[in-house]
Amino acid sequence: MPRFALVLGLVRLADARKSHGNEKRKHAHTYLQFCANDATVSAHACVHRVANKWPEPALLTEECREATPPHYPIGASEPTCLLPAGKDIYHPITIPMGLRSPPGDYRTGVDTDTFTDWDRIRCRDGQLFVTGWYRRYTPQECARLCSRISDFYGRDCTHFSRQWVNTEIEEHNDHCGRDGDSGIRSDVAPFGEFGSAGVGTGRFHNGQYRFRGQCSFYHSENDECCASKAAWTEAGGNTSSTYCQDRYGERADNWDNKFRSWRLKNNTFTPTGAWPVTSRGRQLLSEMRLEELDPDVHLHVHKFIMPNGSTFWAVEEELLISGQFGTRGETVPDEEGNDDEQFQRQSPSPMPENALQEDQTAMSEASWSTRLHWWQAIRRIWALIRPW
């Protein structure tokens, strides 16, 4: 073999082995699936791995169990989640990496030793609205709200994404962006085991996470909201749909390292009425002010943002009446000093390269403002007691 051809072959092989992290060899990842209605949510841990060995094709297998230890089979603790009855199943959207060339079905890998998938993906099609930025918006809460949304100007929720800005968890870990998740254990590997992804709800009051998050909700005809090459032509039973092609052109994976997304896989829950709008007229609660109703405190209240930037409020009346999600008596300290308005101006669109830097600057300024406030308070107290 000519030396040039040998070198070229090695370069191509090296390129084929590129991965999404430092783990270049075959490894598994764990993703969360949710079984939800408008009142309760159960989490399932789904481990994706390549079981085949060369020369068999590189294909991912999936095994799902209950996300909480001891990780019983699905349905053991919540039978209505095995054969869904009165529940919706939201399945994680992931993108295979290391595809064969030409790609074919966009789900078969070139190498069983390096093929894997990844879930940092943002829905592209059919956005309805997004929430404000609050700690309460964990993946489980996003799933519950998606299940509740009904007849919003004639549309229900078929997909949702969750975005975060701050995290202290290494990016390759399956629970990255879920700081404070109640299901994270130190004796479990950070990726590829049933406890690696947590459970999708927090250990703080009423299931909140340590840092703020945002849910975005979608209604899309496409199986994966036009976010992946693999499902670009798939719409229910139709595998040759041109829906995404007509709207967005050629196939493209909608990567975003601060998002995860889910699709409605099974739908057996029917909300009792339209929500968050009670009719197709614009009956939106826009007169409420954030200072009066903080959604991290009043858990029956939500602030929503439309794609055009306008905001409105929604109340879960039956939860307010029952007191099931009433006002908390204690709040989680604002450790990171986030400014609400800084976060609410952001939308679920590709994040600018300097967004994190700007957020850290805002956090630093807020922290300085807090320290100044306390210093001034101490000086006032000292001025009062010094004459004594």
pLDDT in tens, 322-351: 554 443 333 334 444 443 333 333 344 444
Structurally, how many domains does the chain consist of? Answer: 1
Token readout for 33 is: 């699936």
Contacts of 349 (CB under 8 A, 6+ apart): none
DSSP, collapsed to helix, strand or coil, labels residue 111 as: coil
- Is 354 inside any structural domain? no
Taking only the tens place, the pLDDT of each residue in 57-74 is: 899 999 999 999 999 999
CA atoms within 13 A on the CB side of 291: 0
- Is 261 inside any structural domain? yes
Rg of the chain taking only CA atoms, in angstroms: 23
- Is 381 inside any structural domain? no
Distance of CA 48 to the CA centre of its chain: 18
CA distance linking residue 139 with residue 86, whole number of Å: 20
- Is 60 inside any structural domain? yes
Over 80: is that where the pLDDT of 311 sits?
yes
Taking only the tens place, the pLDDT of each residue in 94-118 is: 999 988 888 889 999 988 988 999 9
Token readout for 6 is: 């040998």
Is-contact 48 94, C-beta < 8 A? yes
- Is 157 inside any structural domain? yes
Is-contact 190 196, C-beta < 8 A? yes
| pLDDT confidence bin for 277, thresholds 50/70/90 | confident
- Is 351 inside any structural domain? no
pLDDT at 161: 98
Q: Which domain holds residue 39?
A: 26-332
pTM for the predicted model, two decimal places: 0.78
CA distance linking residue 299 with residue 146, whole number of Å: 16
Higher pLDDT: 288 or 45? It is: 45
- Is 367 inside any structural domain? no
- Is 357 inside any structural domain? no
**Of all residues in the chain, what percent carry a pLDDT higher than 70?**
71
